[in-house]
Amino acid sequence: MLAGTHWANFALHRCGVTSDNEDIVHNSMLVVSMLRKYSLAESELLGALTEIEELRPLYVRGDLPDGSHAAARALELLRLISTLARRPP
């Protein structure tokens, strides 16, 4: 999740949506208007990051079965986030 957040911040800084001193930490902690603004610029990337964040309380902090499937999905999403963040502007 942290790596995905770093990629999201990189993408938002590069396209000028956020300033260098403005970083997201968790999508779930953003004010709705800021999440909307960021999502307009990077909707697919932030959607993937949100999906990773939603796995966290269930599998990392929780004890749901099939954690290996959740981990595989998180890695798949991280690869997508990385690819999207590195696209040319």
Prediction pTM value: 0.91
pLDDT averaged over every residue in the chain: 94
For the chain, the domains span 2-15+24-85
Gap between the terminal Cα atoms of the chain: 23
What pLDDT is attached to residue 22?
95
pLDDT at 54 over 90: yes
In sequence order, which residues have a C-beta less than 8 Å from that of residue 64 and are 6 or more positions away?
Answer: 58, 70
User: How far out from the chain centre does Cα 76 lie?
Assistant: 12
Q: Take residue 35 and report the two structure tokens written for it.
A: 């999440």
What pLDDT is attached to residue 89?
79
86 — phi, psi (to 5°)?
-90, 0
27-40 pLDDT per residue, tens: 888 999 999 999 99
